[in-house]
Structure 1
């Protein structure tokens, strides 16, 4: 073959290996195109989205256009600067030396865009690639090329000049290659699309579609780079002949990777949830409510324990079986809540689909930690090469998938934290892949009220984009203020190009609020509360901690089980200090977020064993759990007595849901009839707060809870909550709406002493909204880099709370440094050994004084998925029976970061060694 474009390598084994193989660049381009076409063929809804938008009724013109534009994704690799990274291959393929005057300083994805934007567009006009109106169509085509060349997970950088990187021979080779592509993939379809839509219409449609096409390109590049399916080929054969084989390989690859839609089974509620003898009223609504085929959003508000999860699963299942969706993703506020949800969904998800679909948890559930190395996409051959500055597609794929949190959106069924969803519309690397992962899924957002102002605004952006692509949404909450509801529904309606929805409110609770495309107004449907979850909870508000301690001791002496929920880790450990010499480790459990994953999972399991639905009197008696907020929404646990530090009313309602949650006899034995009345007497929620005052001082809350004052910065909300508690009872569900609106309503008045704090909190609220607006992608801007700095995924702010650092605990075992957690697979061991810590406390590790030990830590970092770039390895030494290590805080005021010593043990978690308490 004499074609010039066969003189370029696209993928290569590391230089100096036993097998210095390479894959010709035109072949790799066709591999990726073949995967994209196969994915489109096997994804009917995605194909319909693109076909309808550009007005292509027949499939073949769309496939031809997709193949052409996907095959352009690596045009930048034709550049001399890229090829020169492997001078040996340049000499072998083109019998000349690489040009040292063209160093590789601009990445190949950007180079692909630069040669298109600064050279190939002119060729397209001169040669009428897109018909006589080629110049008019180029603005629209540009969005597709940006998405294709942006296959590294973000739009290509447009800075630079193409001639600094390409030599004339490269330019001719690119032009020859594109001429063959135009023969192989005729462009008649895109010409007719432009003619039908007009220049402005075609450009607008292309701009919108680029958000999802970018995700298709990343996925196709990853699969098309996997040598398990696309082995290296250096022998030159005609592109048409290679294309036939590439299509067959692409079909094989897609069968293996687990990202295709899976057929859904018809199942009744009884088949899905055999343990539920009679559906609750909310579940009955989900079973029987008429559904439309249009994109839709539902908000299910009901009390804790009313079966919202099962109702959401049934509703999602009905949407899937009716052809409105191909899968689901359940997003929860915290890792602990996602753990609990995974356990519930794992029991039913296999009944929802034909075959054996992937259920992936998006963070740290034990079963998924065990399996995350066996990722949705098979791990390909490692192609890392010191001679190449780019990370390869296989390396990018392996690193992304090594974090199983990210894989959840690619599987037909996923459960995870809401952060993985929010990243879909933040300026984050691989944002487009997440948006594609959500496509055609029912997005279920549980505990949606837990979103703060920033998260809510980002979630609104997600709902808008999800609605644009025809997705549906189910929101779940026990307590949602009216203004939050309105914002979420308006965002979804915007995605369907609908006008803002008229404000609709109702004093009813429980309540279902629904809207679908074509409706003028939301539909409000009151639901009758299930009798078993209607409760009158007494409230005992106290300001004296000694009274709380005395009550706990008395309850434990009576054989009761108790949970004290505190607002900070520091307060948890302070409470623990009161009891650590009174109770043994079996009867005193500390539960907060600063345990390594393995120990946290062990603690969750202990709590479910001792206080879960099936716990026995012997397992419960005389045991105390002191927990942070991780317990309020996470575990299906049930305590005889619950104490909570004062928190906003929505949090207290959640915490009260863990008080006498399951019907039991007076001795704690479970009553098997779920409709039976609890025999432990009226439940009483204890709340520890500042002394009640009708006219509080400005420091009313901070004086009582100095550390928690920053956790809940709007102290007016706390005072309004305390005022509501003075009535001494909470009746659910009848009090729910009044309680929430009485604290979070827009017209609530505050006492003068707290007004300054409220003004400051309101200012922060609107500032957070502004930051969210700045950080979220804009439909009108399109998939373009512009002047925006796109973050790495590890640093993208899904929440505006203080920045956190992933700390990986290790321990010295003689001359070896090992992950804290034991596991035969090192990658699993490190995952189990991780813990999140505020970055203000730990920013980087302190180098080991011993040079040999320092090298061992560096070697360990090199094996981590992020190479230690976004995490801190804290190596602990055994000092007098305590595990201790040093880490450095961030620099402050121009001074180096302070070195601090840290202790870790399985009972208390991670704490500072100097004081033994948390900052």
Structure 2
């Protein structure tokens, strides 16, 4: 229909009629009434205005104001960027796809060749990029401005194409004749005027005053997606098919109501600078010297930058990092925090700690922390936080409605959640934030470091992850745990954070110097928009230490490198060796569950522990493989009975949680809840290596690279005030898993070499052998020991080993290079393109389609792929969970039995992955269940194993998953 108001006076009636017919959402996707394209564009712009006021951190608002030409101008510019995203729908390529909508458009005088549009596809995001380029050039935008803006439109469904990939734009698809171009121009011009831009030359008035760095462009691309998805929620944005009712004030009302109903909110806003007593106010105690140094250094940084905190285990690095994050946020306008941990298990206790810290900043903020990892449903605190806060038990990403109509996924399909209306007083993270791709958009988040690594991959919707990181302070703990493959993504992520000016705090107990230089170099290269490389920086002269790096006003790197004394005296840790050796008989076929190593070594271990624990005491035995841990547990149980515990990664989730909790209660810090046993032997794998707050009187450990060995030693005499029997009163580490061979290089357990490589183990073994009978001063000697093993010093091993060490080094170098190259296909920036000015072609040759979380993990963590299964037992009466609770005939679960079923989750060895994927499926009763429908069930008959591929698989209540058989044995 013709609309008579000032907005349309300069346009011909046929143009106005056509704009009034263009649809953006079909009736089926807009609450039963067609939503006009202009209406959806204004809705999205209105959402962007709310995002500006209620979500964006101060630093982002300042950046956009500067980009748009001064204070107060950024809001309107940001709203325009978000709202213009769907202009490509004003083409026959899109308008023909809904029959009812197409009839209205045709009736208004816009035509197309229905056979031509039926034969070809042109995604509306790419069409929008092409259309907007034309309109901006016609508006006489500078070329540099055009080139950074169109990728935001062309990539708003998750992948940013190259200019050549925008498509030829055949007339049949883009609109032939004179009317189509006139209508397209009118649509964008009227939309722009509705936002308040100059009426005479609206598009010319939009042009920014500068070109932001690619990291900010990626953040903006993610925010465009966020605003589009919110504005596409038919529960809050029902269709408007009358052009006279399509106005910006109406869109603002809808956007405000939707934001409130969805329970969305931003972070803490502009924080005040904490005072000199801030640390004690947050954590209830005066800071230790190293903690005081951290907050002092961040207060002296000349700009947002990278902080590397290196301190021994138990020094309080996490509290120091949170205190630093508060100072950095206050100084540089960050609106929230992300804390990344090495594993899911280490994320859970930090989740509690972050919530306590936020409660001290402002009561209520603690309820806005999202826990981001695949096992969060097992965390009681997370479950309690979400109780009564919506249908949190369902997979949020499965309750979608299309935001791009009939285009299948390969042509741009994506989704938004149909969230039930909730009060803005919601005392939990908004459900909208809990979708698989959106967790980092939560104002406060704790999860695995994978969340940051995902943000450095060339994958669909990576811009959402970037939008969730830019504007926060990022804290990453135990960064030394990143291997060479993961480090490619870590360094790439630091490059983007550096370019965006995101303050980053890295924590480590044992960081090799070359790794420190690479991490700092990656961040500084990003801050300079240069290719990353190793940077020369001052070395810490003591331990604990703090290294701060940022780019000064002149573009030069600036550093502060200082150290402090530890809060406690060094431990003189006695170093001993328990000789191991190759099996007396050749190893025959067996699977990953078969015992490893000779019986004589187990007997020697039993004898050692019998002597040292004769008067009581607690020993920790760390093995490098599950199979070896299981064999050790069985051998020790014969002598020590119920005083032996076993903890490893092939326990089902219920057992692992229970045993971890018990170990922390028995061996944790002194206190009323920790009753230390008279005698205990804990056999564990690398789970005990990091963020595992237990205190052992004696440590026996398989040989591992020195940094990991020192991490393990960090569990030794960890807490003061413990009464220890005389035989274990001196902190002692007994290293095994290798044995001397005279002047020859030592024999090293094959499984250990397979995990860590022979080169680092040889150099570590040399240090251990040199120290045998003496002591290491821990933590004082930690930097020196790590530097010797990871450095280039050729005098670490005896001369008689030199040739074998050189061979091992060449093999190690080849392996490292192979793993580095394996990551290149998935790293966000292709080699040589860090200097690019725009996002054009960002996803070229990237990972295809939308990846499940498990596939993401495979992208950023090297190694053989593994799968998780859910254990279920079958007896004569039917199926039951591992807890013994009965299930339905097809495995059906109730709300009361769900936890019992999920407790049976266990990760299989990589050798079983292919067989599990080929043979295991969900139980019939799990089909349609939000958490179980994709879960593979491993059904075990009572008293017998199940055959999986070429292996026998069973589950022992003491040992955990036991695997035998298989094509080969080592």
TM-score, normalised with respect to structure 1: 0.83
Q: 1:320 aligns with which of 311, 324, 329?
A: 329
Check conservation: 1:596, 1:834, Cα contact below 8 A.
yes
- Give the Cα–Cα distance (whole angstroms) in 2 for the partners of residues 323 and 404 of structure 1: 29
1:686 has 2:770 as partner: no
Alignment of 1:437-452 (within 5 A): 437-452=468-483
- Give the Cα–Cα distance (whole angstroms) in 1 for the partners of residues 868 and 152 of structure 2: 31
Alignment of 1:58-207 (within 5 A): 58-60=71-73, 62-78=74-90, 82=94, 86-87=98-99, 90=102, 101=115, 110-114=123-127, 116-117=129-130, 121-122=133-134, 124-125=136-137, 128=138, 130=139, 133-134=140-141, 136-137=142-143, 140-156=145-161, 158=165, 160-163=167-170, 165=173, 174-185=184-195, 186=197, 191=204, 202=211, 205=212, 207=214
Who is 2:954 aligned against?
903
SS of 1:409's partner is: helix
SS of 2:455's partner is: helix
Who is 1:623 aligned against?
680
Alignment of 1:758-797 (within 5 A): 758-778=809-829, 779-781=834-836, 782-783=838-839, 784-785=841-842, 787-791=844-848, 792=851, 794=853, 795-796=855-856, 797=859
Who is 2:304 aligned against?
295
Structure 1 residue 548, shift from structure 2 partner: 1.6
Who is 2:466 aligned against?
435
Alignment of 1:10-409 (within 5 A): 10-11=24-25, 20=32, 22-42=34-54, 43=56, 44-52=58-66, 54=67, 56-60=69-73, 62-78=74-90, 82=94, 86-87=98-99, 90=102, 101=115, 110-114=123-127, 116-117=129-130, 121-122=133-134, 124-125=136-137, 128=138, 130=139, 133-134=140-141, 136-137=142-143, 140-156=145-161, 158=165, 160-163=167-170, 165=173, 174-185=184-195, 186=197, 191=204, 202=211, 205=212, 207=214, 209-228=216-235, 230-238=236-244, 241=247, 243-254=248-259, 256-263=262-269, 264=271, 266=274, 268-274=278-284, 276=285, 278-289=286-297, 290-292=299-301, 294-353=303-362, 355-357=364-366, 358-363=368-373, 364-365=375-376, 366=379, 367-368=381-382, 374=392, 382-383=400-401, 389-390=408-409, 391-394=413-416, 407-409=438-440
Deviations 1:674-703 (A, max 9, x none): xxxx99611111111311247445xx55xx
Residues 1:763 and 1:212: Cα distance change in structure 2 (over 3 Å):
same
1:577 has 2:584 as partner: no
Who is 2:424 aligned against?
none
Check conservation: 2:574, 2:730, Cα contact below 8 A.
yes
Who is 1:742 aligned against?
788
1:721 has 2:769 as partner: no
- Give the Cα–Cα distance (whole angstroms) in 2 for the partners of residues 105 and 528 of structure 1: 73
- Give the Cα–Cα distance (whole angstroms) in 2 for the partners of residues 875 and 376 of structure 1: 19
Structure 1 residue 843, shift from structure 2 partner: 3.5
SS of 1:637's partner is: coil
SS of 2:416's partner is: helix
SS of 2:440's partner is: coil
- Give the Cα–Cα distance (whole angstroms) in 1 for the partners of residues 156 and 901 of structure 2: 29
Alignment of 1:884-903 (within 5 A): 898=949, 900-903=951-954
1:479 has 2:516 as partner: no
Structure 1 residue 916, shift from structure 2 partner: 14
Residues 1:463 and 1:555: Cα distance change in structure 2 (over 3 Å):
same
- Give the Cα–Cα distance (whole angstroms) in 1 for the partners of residues 290 and 448 of structure 2: 24
Structure 1 residue 420, shift from structure 2 partner: 0.7
Q: 2:573 aligns with which of 537, 546, 563?
A: 537
Check conservation: 2:136, 2:146, Cα contact below 8 A.
no
Who is 2:648 aligned against?
592
Structure 1 residue 104, shift from structure 2 partner: 7.5
- Give the Cα–Cα distance (whole angstroms) in 2 for the partners of residues 463 and 233 of structure 1: 43
Check conservation: 1:144, 1:213, Cα contact below 8 A.
no
Residues 1:632 and 1:234: Cα distance change in structure 2 (over 3 Å):
same
SS of 2:466's partner is: helix
Alignment of 1:483-562 (within 5 A): 483-497=514-528, 502-518=536-552, 520-532=557-569, 534-544=570-580, 545=601, 546-554=603-611, 558-562=615-619
Residues 1:839 and 1:754: Cα distance change in structure 2 (over 3 Å):
same
Which deviates more from structure 2 when the two are superposed, residues 656-665 or residues 811-820? 811-820
Residues 1:723 and 1:899: Cα distance change in structure 2 (over 3 Å):
closer
Structure 1 residue 322, shift from structure 2 partner: 3.4
Check conservation: 2:371, 2:447, Cα contact below 8 A.
yes
Deviations 1:542-591 (A, max 9, x none): 1132322322345566432222111122222222332455666x644332
Check conservation: 1:114, 1:162, Cα contact below 8 A.
yes
SS of 1:443's partner is: strand
Who is 2:594 aligned against?
none
Check conservation: 1:65, 1:190, Cα contact below 8 A.
no
- Give the Cα–Cα distance (whole angstroms) in 1 for the partners of residues 969 and 258 of structure 2: 50
Structure 1 residue 666, shift from structure 2 partner: 2.9
SS of 1:74's partner is: helix
Who is 1:672 aligned against?
none
Who is 1:602 aligned against?
658
Residues 1:154 and 1:196: Cα distance change in structure 2 (over 3 Å):
closer
Structure 1 residue 171, shift from structure 2 partner: 6.7
Residues 1:87 and 1:441: Cα distance change in structure 2 (over 3 Å):
same
Which deviates more from structure 2 when the two are superposed, residues 207-216 or residues 398-407? 398-407
Check conservation: 2:33, 2:241, Cα contact below 8 A.
no
- Give the Cα–Cα distance (whole angstroms) in 2 for the partners of residues 105 and 760 of structure 1: 54
Who is 1:874 aligned against?
936
- Give the Cα–Cα distance (whole angstroms) in 2 for the partners of residues 107 and 272 of structure 1: 57
- Give the Cα–Cα distance (whole angstroms) in 1 for the partners of residues 88 and 657 of structure 2: 46
Q: 1:803 aligns with which of 861, 865, 868?
A: 865
Residues 1:36 and 1:504: Cα distance change in structure 2 (over 3 Å):
same
Residues 1:815 and 1:354: Cα distance change in structure 2 (over 3 Å):
closer
Who is 1:613 aligned against?
669
Structure 1 residue 633, shift from structure 2 partner: 0.3
SS of 1:562's partner is: strand
Who is 2:913 aligned against?
842
Alignment of 1:410-429 (within 5 A): 410-429=441-460
- Give the Cα–Cα distance (whole angstroms) in 2 for the partners of residues 655 and 819 of structure 1: 43
Structure 2 residue ranges without an equivalent (≥5)? 3-16, 421-429, 581-600, 874-878, 881-886
- Give the Cα–Cα distance (whole angstroms) in 1 for the partners of residues 333 and 742 of structure 2: 53
- Give the Cα–Cα distance (whole angstroms) in 2 for the partners of residues 590 and 104 of structure 1: 63
Structure 1 residue 57, shift from structure 2 partner: 0.8
Check conservation: 2:344, 2:447, Cα contact below 8 A.
yes
Residues 1:841 and 1:848: Cα distance change in structure 2 (over 3 Å):
closer
Structure 1 residue 663, shift from structure 2 partner: 2.1
- Give the Cα–Cα distance (whole angstroms) in 1 for the partners of residues 966 and 208 of structure 2: 73
Structure 1 residue 710, shift from structure 2 partner: 1.7
Residues 1:6 and 1:35: Cα distance change in structure 2 (over 3 Å):
same
- Give the Cα–Cα distance (whole angstroms) in 1 for the partners of residues 910 and 932 of structure 2: 17
Structure 1 residue 744, shift from structure 2 partner: 0.5
